[in-house]
Each structure stands twice: as C-alpha cells, then as structure tokens.
Amino acid sequence: MGIVWDGQTGNGRSVIALGMFDGVHIGHQVLLRRAKALARQQGVPLVVSTFTNHPMALIQPERCPPMLTTPAERARRMRAQGMDVLQERPFDRSVMDTPPEEFVADLCRRYHPLFIVVGFNHTFGRKGEGTPLLLTALGEVFGYRAEVVPKITLGGREVSSTVIRELLARGDTDLARQMLGQPYERSVLVGNRQGQETLLTYLDEGKQEVLPGQYRGLIQAGESVWPAALLCGDGGQIRARLARQFTPGSEAVIRYLHRFKNVGP
C-alpha cells in the first residue's frame, strides 16, 4: 500500500473512494469493495481520499464526535478491503473554504480518476455544498463517472458511524459488532495484577467509550488471542480477568463482545 500525503500527486489513472471512513463499518466496506471492483475492471489502483482529522474538530469542536478507529486502524482495515493508495490530508481552513468544484478539480489533477465512488449522504467542499448530485454533474466536466452507494441498513437501522457510536455509548456492543463487521477494539496498557484482576488503561485517547459495566471480551497480544472478562468503569481504566498473565507495561488490544445486563462497574 502506498501512502500519499497532501501535496503529492499520483501517476496515471485511478478509481477514487471518497469519505471519512471512521470505523470502516459494513457500509464503508460495501463502498470500498465496489470501488475495488471498478479499479480491477479498469486495471488501475484504488485511491482512498480522506482526512487525518474529523471535519467537526475544526468546524464545531464542541460537537466533534469521538472516533471509532485510530488512523492506523482505519488504514489497516481499508487495506484489507483492497485499498492500494491512501491519500490523507488534514482538514484545515484552506480545505474548509474550498468550493466543491475546486475540491474535485484538485482530486482530478492529482489522480486522474475514471470513477469516483461516494456514499449517498457524502458532502464535500465549502459548507458541505458538494453533494453526490454535484459530483455526478462535475464528471461531465472532468471526465470521470460518479458511483453513489445507497444507504445500507441492518435490522431496519441505517449503518453509520454515528449510530455505532450511540450503540457503544449505551453498551450495545452486539449490534455495534455486527455493524462494524468485527468487535469494537481499544488499545490498552497492561498494569499491575491485583488478586485475580489485572488493571488495563486505554492508550488510544479520543476513541468512543463504551457504557461502564461488565463485558465478555477478548485480549490480543501479538498474534495470540485469549478470552477476557472486562469490568469497565469511568475514567478509562478497566479491571480484567484474563486467561493468562501479562507483563506489566506491555501493550495489548481488547475487543468487546457482549455487555452483561444489570451488572455495573
């Protein structure tokens, strides 16, 4: 996988997938698979164009949501869906003030897309003025075709990063897992053992918190995975009962599978 930072330009033609892709949930996966299929048909790379930070962090910081994935997690999951090149750039004031027509023109100068693939509700450019309809119309000007992926639902609910955050905040890790396509995960630092419990502390600040309570989960260190009982409280610390002992100061990944009801921290 290539990583292209802001200001660099690709060579030849491409297919572009455009979006924030926080969580790389099953809706994002449908979009990325469609974009990859188009790229294969055309014999060109799939470029994913996204931002290093959430736009709301600049537009309305007080309303900026916590993230579902770190940049490294997001890149890894998009690579698994077939991404060849990742274009990441900060969402700054220059991007925020760019008219949507110029935003698309810049993408076309860099990557010469044959197709640009977006979700049904994606917006871009100044004040979110760019819509899938405008993206389609601009294809006539810049020589690409737009593909718009429709809304994806699960159990009658729209699959979105916002909905997944809400599910995690109320402890519904089961439905969140289905929408993500895998369990929600956090990176942790292993602390000291106190009796049968080991203290864990989150390392990935800024990610969505789960509702405090007791969870059935998994813990991974390296390539090995073990079951874990996770007792999550407020303040980013977890008391865990683990199937094996870990060295204090080591790092691990925990995954939330199911929250037990009526069991508090």
Give the CATH fold of the 176-259 domain: Elongation Factor Tu (Ef-tu); domain 3 (2.40.30)
CATH number of the domain at 2-150, please?
Answer: 3.40.50.620
Task: Answer whether 0.85 is exceeded by the pTM.
Answer: yes
Per-domain residue ranges for the chain? 2-150, 176-259
Confidence band for 12, pLDDT divided at 50, 70 and 90: confident
Q: Which residue would you say has higher pLDDT here, 66 or 9?
A: 66
| Best CA proximity match to 230, nearest among 262, 256, 194 | 256
Q: pLDDT tens-digit profile of 92-143?
A: 999 999 999 999 999 999 999 999 999 999 999 999 999 999 999 999 999 9
For residue 4, name the pLDDT band (cuts at 50, 70, 90): low
pLDDT in tens, 226-264: 999 999 988 778 999 998 889 999 999 999 999 998 655
The answer, yes or no, to whether residue 11 has pLDDT greater than 70, is no
* Whether residue 145 has pLDDT greater than 80: yes
Share of the chain above pLDDT 70, in %: 94
* Amino acid symbol at 44: V
Write out 156-213 in H/E/C secondary structure. CEECCHHHHHHHHHCCCHHHHHHHHCCCEEEEEEEEEEECCEEEEEECCCCECCCCCE
Question: Whose structure tokens read 């813990």?
Answer: 219
Residue 107 has a pLDDT of 96
Q: Quick one: which of 158, 200, 169 has its CA closest to 68?
A: 169
